[in-house]
Structure 1
Amino acid sequence: MTGIATPTLEAGRLVDEARLAAGAEPGEPLRFLDGLGVLTTALEEEARLSERGRAGTRAALLGALVTQLRVARAVKGRPPVARPRAVFITGLLRTGTTFLHNLLAQHPDLRAPRLWELMSVADPRPPRERIRGCAAYVEEYYRAAPDFRAIHPLDPQLPEECHRLTANSFRHFIYGLRYNVPSYMDWLDQQPMAAAYHFHQLQLDCLLSADPEPAAAVVLKCPSHLWHLDDLDRVYPGATVIRLHRDPKVAIGSVCSLTAAVRSARSDDVSPSEIGAHWLDRAARALEATHPGGAPIDVRYADLVADPLRVVAGVCERIGVPVTVAARDRMTRYLAAGADKPATTHRYRLGDFGIDGDRLDRRLAAYRAAFDV
């Protein structure tokens, strides 16, 4: 009896295939292979991947390796580039970071990298082909995880999280969101992140090098920065950080639901209790270490949704890029179009993931009081 061989996730085989796909010469560098090894072992032993999930995961890991090779080739011998000021939006997942990011992206003087750019850094194909490839990815993603459409809109032409840069270093908690990989997450918790942020910066330089004129500032967004602000500051000194704040019960319940939707695209055996355990301590520890004051700009979700233009005007003033008439008009049109509102309602219950809301409130009472959430 014959059958189709199970696609391998063995790190050495992935490296060999990536070199072949990228047309790499002997000795062309690949980095962060320790993380790849830890991640692939966890994927094999813990993630309970479906056949569809295994194929998609393999393609994503190969894509990260190919991007490493392309970026190394693109920057070899290139003189240093002038970088615009960096603005990083962060906060616990599901706290309004995407809404604020999309609003700021309407400002003509601010640059927010779009999904198709983030997914094809240093890709030699023309932009039109890269956009088509990204659109096909989005369509397939929604087929595999239909509930995701109501939670987080994906569009090739919209700004997207810069985890799509950092994850190419195999050092990012997005892998713990996509898969049940507790051993990888335990390893990741012990890793310094400066090298991953340097590679993030290198990829961003490649992406922005195609711009005919530099913007006043580049605006990036990812919740993971909340866990790594010290390393972020080492690599991007002087960057502005904007932190979003929302009732932790709502945010954590929502991110658990998002995680379930994402994991269902890769596994037919998704455990709500594993997801609740994954996020409860991880999110609570981050919030317990978050205090008012200091350099970050703090924004409450409730204020953002109540009066988005006022909040954005205050943020723009702080980062030194005032809201012009043209910027306000574009933001107003964006809000009027309802582009920030999903077509369907996202429903979830914290208790479905084994989390006691009252106990969570008590644990995070100091955080909730400090930021009035």
Structure 2
Amino acid sequence: MSWTPDPRPEWVAAVNRGDAGPVVDEARRPFDPDLLMAEALVRQGRTPDDRAALGDDDFVEPLTLFCHGLEHEADLTVMGRWMSRRMILRLLEVRIQLNDYLAADPRTLDEPIDEPIFVIGAPRTGTTVMHGVLAQDPAHRAPEGWELLRPVPPPHPDPDIRAADPRIALAGAELVMPQTVASGMLAIHEYSGRMFKECLSAMSFEFRSEEMVSRTDVPTYQGWYDTADLRPAYRTYRKVLQVLQRRMPTRRWVLKSPAHLQGLPALLEVFDDARFVITHRDPTAILPSVTSLIATMRWAHSDRVDFAAIGRYHLELYGRSLDSLIDLIDSGRLAPDRTAQVPHRLASTDKLAAARSVYEQLGMKLAPGTEAAIADYAAATPPGKHGEHRYQFEDLGLTRDEVRARFARYIDRFDIPVANDEGTRRWLTKSTPVANDE
């Protein structure tokens, strides 16, 4: 195994050495959930004991477990502590803002969220690509990064005023920070305040989100999360969407996260008329790619990253979740007329053809103007725009036979082309090699 992260920038190394006083002082404060809740309340102009302003207590247990993991398990650097602390405070402050807004305007909860389209599939299978493609339809709306990080108050309906919202820069700075701390992150996955954002950011307000385990190694929290009830996270997410559309024209939401594979039953309970676009890819390409992403994200927060352990976890996590996906399809809970299947090779090599396929499968009309917008989007987002994402299957410490055996049902069910034993980008069945790794 040879996975080695890129060196961090010198300014990050200086912070981690303790050479940046204010950041170091803040980072050294303990991950105490009571102190963090009190600080968030004070930041929002409340008394530190006004816990009712934070809403119901569903979030307290996962917050407590997450804080325990950050303090005692994650082995965070100074920068990792600082970023994690800032994230927790933002999540708590937005909880207060959401509760205040809904109390002042309870009719927000009457906002219809009709037939949202969720783009799902294992990570690195083309979910980001398809999310961006479907967002080009003027009848659709995809949430931007700043909207999911700081949704209160609702965006202004005037596009010029909306574009000048200071929350864009505030959220953008937070989203870009891991790319700045961990060299090479940008080539794997780009983030910004104005880019379309996946659902995890809103589900994190309940501290029931894969965002926590993606950034940091917190096994106690992860063990709890793997069997947690995700309905509170989806209910809060629905409220966030209702707030975001309160002052805007109602359009169909196009939403995205690979993490929905682990929460589909809860998602279907909260969004019972949802439609789905499901992306597919060879598992022997999925595992090293997603493990590289998570390892690099964790490297932004810690000096200790076990690439092979992350890979083994993903082997079982996505093995289970893709088996569950098949069960939901075969049982009819994910009905054929409400789902579209898209192979990664199509999404990555011909965005317009992928869009046409999705619209046809879902019985939707693809207007000429939307086709033109998708073509423009494809031209503006070429594969490898920010460099090539490099990774090696061998760094997983697994064999291709192990991976193919664990995902045999998935491979057979969706007729997935599988890479050969040499680990090249050739295929066992006739298909087009891919250039885009998202």
TM-superposed deviation, 1:241: 1.6
Conserved in 2, the CA contact under 8 Å of 1:153 and 1:342? no
Q: Could you tell me the TM-score, scaled by structure 1's length?
A: 0.93
Output the amino acid matched with 1:303.
L
Name 2:138's counterpart in structure 1: 108
TM-superposed deviation, 1:355: 2.2
**SS of structure 2 residue aligned to 1:241:** strand
**SS of structure 1 residue aligned to 2:54:** coil
TM-superposed deviation, 1:303: 2.7
Name 1:368's counterpart in structure 2: 411
TM-superposed deviation, 1:142: 1.7
Name 2:4's counterpart in structure 1: none
Output the amino acid matched with 1:10.
D
Q: Deviations over 1:217-265 (max 9, x none)?
A: 1000011111111110110011102211100110111000001110011
Name 2:434's counterpart in structure 1: none
Conserved in 2, the CA contact under 8 Å of 1:115 and 1:158? yes
2:244 and 2:384 mapped to 1: Cα distance?
Answer: 28
Q: Does 1:94 align with 2:94?
A: no
Name 1:14's counterpart in structure 2: 36
Q: Deviations over 1:95-147 (max 9, x none)?
A: 10000000111111110011111111115898521112123224433211221
Name 1:219's counterpart in structure 2: 254
**SS of structure 2 residue aligned to 1:298:** strand
Name 1:63's counterpart in structure 2: 90
Conserved in 1, the CA contact under 8 Å of 2:315 and 2:406? no
Output the amino acid matched with 1:356.
T
Structure scoring higher RCO (CA < 8 A, sep ≥ 6) equals 1
**SS of structure 2 residue aligned to 1:146:** coil
Conserved in 1, the CA contact under 8 Å of 2:122 and 2:261? yes
Among 78, 85, 104, the residue aligned to 2:106? 78
**SS of structure 2 residue aligned to 1:243:** strand
In the alignment, structure 1 segments of 5+ residues that lack a partner are: none
- Single out whichever of 142-151 and 305-314 deviates more from structure 2: 305-314
2:412 and 2:365 mapped to 1: Cα distance?
Answer: 31
**SS of structure 1 residue aligned to 2:80:** helix
Among 366, 374, 383, the residue aligned to 1:323? 366
Q: Deviations over 1:267-320 (max 9, x none)?
A: 112121221232121121112333255423222112323432122123234445
Among 111, 122, 135, the residue aligned to 2:152? 122
1:364 and 1:138 mapped to 2: Cα distance?
Answer: 33
The sequence identity of aligned pairs, in percent, is 29
Please identify the structure whose Cα radius of gyration is greater: 2
- Single out whichever of 278-287 and 22-31 deviates more from structure 2: 22-31
2:39 and 2:154 mapped to 1: Cα distance?
Answer: 18
1:78 and 1:320 mapped to 2: Cα distance?
Answer: 35
Name 1:201's counterpart in structure 2: 238
TM-superposed deviation, 1:159: 0.8
2:228 and 2:315 mapped to 1: Cα distance?
Answer: 21
Output the amino acid matched with 1:87.
I
Output the amino acid matched with 1:258.
L
- Residues 237, 51 of structure 1: CA spacing in aligned structure 2 closer, same or farther, 3 A cutoff? same
Output the amino acid matched with 2:414.
F
Name 2:312's counterpart in structure 1: 277
- Residues 119, 29 of structure 1: CA spacing in aligned structure 2 closer, same or farther, 3 A cutoff? closer
Name 1:290's counterpart in structure 2: 325
